[in-house]
Structure 1
Amino acid sequence: MSDFPPGRCFLGLISGTSADGIDAALVRFDDDHAHAHARPALLHGRTHAWQPALRERLVTLGQQAQALTLDEVGELDVRIGHAFAAAALATLREAGLSARDVAAIGSHGQTLRHHPHGDAPFTLQLGDAHVIAERCGIPVVADFRRRDVAAGGHGAPLVPAFHAATLHDPSEDRAVLNLGGIANLTLLPARGTVRGFDTGPANGLMDAWCQRHTGMAYDADGGFAAQGRVDGPLLARLLAEPWFAAAPPKSTGRDRFHLDWVDAALAGTEAPADVQATLLALTARSVGEALRATQPGTRRVIACGGGVHNPLLMAALAEAMPDAAIESSAVHGLDPDFVEAMAFAWLARQHLAGRPGNLPAVTGAAGPRVLGALYPA
């Protein structure tokens, strides 16, 4: 059992663009609800593997614009909800905690589609919160993105508000770089407005290309990319994608940056390892160019997400941003593998406290909004 009063921790759950696992983070804040800037402490974090057939289905849906029947959407919603509930219960067991130790679960779910443009903008995350609440006996806050979209925003990225609450420093201009399936930047000026936006692909394309050509789910330590050389003409064709030149606020996902998009840019003569090296360079270049265009005085880039563990990518990023120190969020007390999951624990806390979870300057929403919906235990 816990050695702290009941209800003092929150459990964040998220499966990102790469659908490489369900990240779970048990987080305790230094108070319950009184302060938005309470310092978080990670009590326990773990990535729970998807059941292989379900993951394969999610990855396929992310890579290809397939039509789904209503029955298929409904069944996926429930199956993902059960997977998230199982991850939550396993995390509690491993931490030696029970339901009464947790004030709420913040569940992001799995994004099925993200289309914040058009006549009827929408974003859709699956993972039935009723199932999670029923199985865990804990209140669940879920469906965080749609209120921001309803208010005219992109519904993404949402993590910059958490970055601002935990990593801002009044003595220097900083940026937080999340290297998940998609890369996104949070700009934390010493003084001024916090901004944030997606910069383009990070691990998602590299993972998919690696899976296609090696059978491995990801490029461990950048070994596959290290076997190749950057193809300059291919990189130029990829960087010519108009989305990169669009001004923030902006967000994207696997429905834009997928293998069909890569295939359309290929000349047909590239070696697979050269393409992998070029995709890695695409991430570094697009991040570097985005930072120079939006906060050229950045002195420190704090990196988190799975890409932190790819030394080749981190070296390429350092080369692309030579004027800034690049370091892991671990240096600042935040485990890089669980920053996003911690953020959704924080967003659940914000919801219960009746505080906004979005930053309008980041998402483009009409104003601050309390995000998510509460599903009682």
Structure 2
Amino acid sequence: MSKREGEVWRALGLMSGTSLDGIDVAVIETDGEKIYGRSHAATYPYSEAFREKLRAGLAEAATLTDRGARPGRLRMLEQYLTELHAEAISHYLTDHEIAPESIDLVGFHGQTVLHRPEARLTVQLGDGALLARLAGRPVVYDLRAADVAAGGQGAPLAPVYHRALAADIAERPVAVLNLGGVANITWIGRDGTLIAFDTGPASAMIDDWVQTKLGKPFDADGRIAAGGAVHESIVADYLRHPHFAELPPKSLDRNAFSLDAVAHLSPEDGAATLAAFTAASIAQSLSHLPEPPQLLVISGGGRRNDTMVAMIAQRTGIDIQHAEDFGIDGDGVEAEAWAFLAVRSALGLPITFPGTTGVSGPLTGGVRADPA
């Protein structure tokens, strides 16, 4: 499928990212600049058995120095992960009565298992060529690599899509806060200027905590944290991490922080303290912006943690609204972004910028794989 700039593409995005929840799928219609249509997003959860395999894979990937290497179980894990993504595409298209041949392009994120931009290293498990063959559609993947190789942070990549989404929001400056495994913020200035960076952890630490302590994959609605007390001294210790003093752009690995500091706490107190850490890190991050946003629009799975969202509102003092308040599917934003980025990549348009990743100039990226 070959289209030119200005033509509208129907693109499907796949996001698994840094969380271990599952695969988010969404379809948008775009010319790479504007959004002309969006379908409902869907999530296809990983089984708990596969989550365990991914956790083991994260540990194995921690020693990688070659981003193309797949030692031990990583090769088999990548193949199975790719097959799961192909199944997710098939289920999604069937569930939404979308003809496969109507999809012009697939944007494939893969599962991040290592992100160390300071070493010019980022690793996402996912075989784009295999997915193209299984899905029978062109696939754009490995969208972070070119930016990291050029000295950028390789994250966050969604800001250019956030700006397109926020085109009809009157408040300026406005910020989109994505609460995934890691939290990232996109600040959109009055003239459309973008500043973006990872503010700190969001759901990853809490998910790992409640899984370890209670065998639960996440803190549903923040109910566990709601029953606990925040240990502010631990929050303060976490905030001494060098990441928070660094000027943006900057990004974080999912496993940048240890749970050791909360290991002695009850499940409730640990969840509350980790939620407060997320909120405090977001509040502290606002000092890096040219001016405070008038509005925070939140997306990502963490927006369902009511306790954490209330803490963010309290610690930032900024009006918070959910993505859904603007007709945006908060679960689908990242998957939609990957569809959008795939189209921009296919058109040779920039996907990262000095204000979002620290790369020296606007840069495109991604690798295309065709089914044949």
User: Counterpart of 2:129?
Assistant: 130
Q: 2:270 aligns with which of 271, 275, 290?
A: 275
User: Counterpart of 1:369?
Assistant: 363
User: Counterpart of 1:186?
Assistant: 186
AA of the residue aligned to 2:117: P
User: Counterpart of 1:55?
Assistant: 51
AA of the residue aligned to 1:262: L
Q: Post-superposition shift, 1:116?
A: 0.6
TM-score, scaled to structure 2: 0.91
AA of the residue aligned to 1:376: D
CA distance in 2: counterparts of 1:207 and 1:132, whole angstroms: 28
2:259 corresponds to 1:262: yes
CA displacement, residues 112-139 of structure 1 (integer Å, 9 cap, x when unaligned): 1111113xx1111111111211111100
Q: Post-superposition shift, 1:54?
A: 2.3
What SS does the corresponding residue of 1:44 show, helix, strand or coil? Answer: coil
Contact 2:163 2:192 in 1 (8 A): no
Q: Post-superposition shift, 1:44?
A: 3.2
Q: Post-superposition shift, 1:177?
A: 0.3
CA displacement, residues 5-30 of structure 1 (integer Å, 9 cap, x when unaligned): x984110001021211100111223x
Q: Which runs of 5+ in 1 are unaligned?
A: 1-5
CA displacement, residues 76-132 of structure 1 (integer Å, 9 cap, x when unaligned): 2211111111111111111112221000000001111111113xx111111111121
User: Counterpart of 1:195?
Assistant: 195
CA distance in 2: counterparts of 1:54 and 1:205, whole angstroms: 19
CA distance in 2: counterparts of 1:40 and 1:283, whole angstroms: 34
AA of the residue aligned to 1:24: V
Runs of 4+ that moved beyond 3 A: 60-69, 168-171
CA displacement, residues 255-290 of structure 1 (integer Å, 9 cap, x when unaligned): 312xxx120x34x65323111101000001100110
CA distance in 2: counterparts of 1:98 and 1:344, whole angstroms: 20
CA distance in 2: counterparts of 1:127 and 1:293, whole angstroms: 34
Contact 1:197 1:249 in 2 (8 A): yes
- Superposition pairs of residues 202-221 of structure 1, within 5 angstroms: 202-221=202-221
What SS does the corresponding residue of 1:186 show, helix, strand or coil? Answer: strand
Q: Post-superposition shift, 1:166?
A: 2.0
The alignment of Structure 1 onto Structure 2 pairs a total of residues equal to: 359
2:175 corresponds to 1:175: yes
CA distance in 1: counterparts of 2:296 and 2:231, whole angstroms: 27
What SS does the corresponding residue of 1:149 show, helix, strand or coil? Answer: helix
CA distance in 1: counterparts of 2:52 and 2:105, whole angstroms: 30
Contact 2:156 2:184 in 1 (8 A): yes
The structure-2 alpha-carbon separation of the partners of 1:205 and 1:40, relative to structure 1 and needing over 3 Å to count, comes to farther
Q: Which runs of 5+ in 2 are unaligned?
A: 1-6, 65-69
AA of the residue aligned to 2:277: L
Q: Post-superposition shift, 1:371?
A: 1.5
Give aligned-pair identity as a percent.
37
CA distance in 1: counterparts of 2:235 and 2:58, whole angstroms: 23
2:44 corresponds to 1:45: no
TM-score, scaled to structure 1: 0.90
CA distance in 2: counterparts of 1:65 and 1:128, whole angstroms: 16
What SS does the corresponding residue of 1:26 show, helix, strand or coil? Answer: strand
Contact 2:62 2:114 in 1 (8 A): no
CA distance in 1: counterparts of 2:165 and 2:285, whole angstroms: 23
User: Counterpart of 2:4?
Assistant: none
Contact 1:65 1:255 in 2 (8 A): no
2:293 corresponds to 1:293: no
CA distance in 2: counterparts of 1:42 and 1:231, whole angstroms: 42
Contact 1:174 1:188 in 2 (8 A): yes
What SS does the corresponding residue of 2:259 show, helix, strand or coil? Answer: helix
Q: Post-superposition shift, 1:207?
A: 0.7
Contact 2:40 2:332 in 1 (8 A): no
User: Counterpart of 1:164?
Assistant: 163
Contact 1:347 1:357 in 2 (8 A): yes
User: Counterpart of 1:147?
Assistant: 146
CA displacement, residues 187-212 of structure 1 (integer Å, 9 cap, x when unaligned): 11112631100011000001111111
CA distance in 1: counterparts of 2:316 and 2:354, whole angstroms: 27
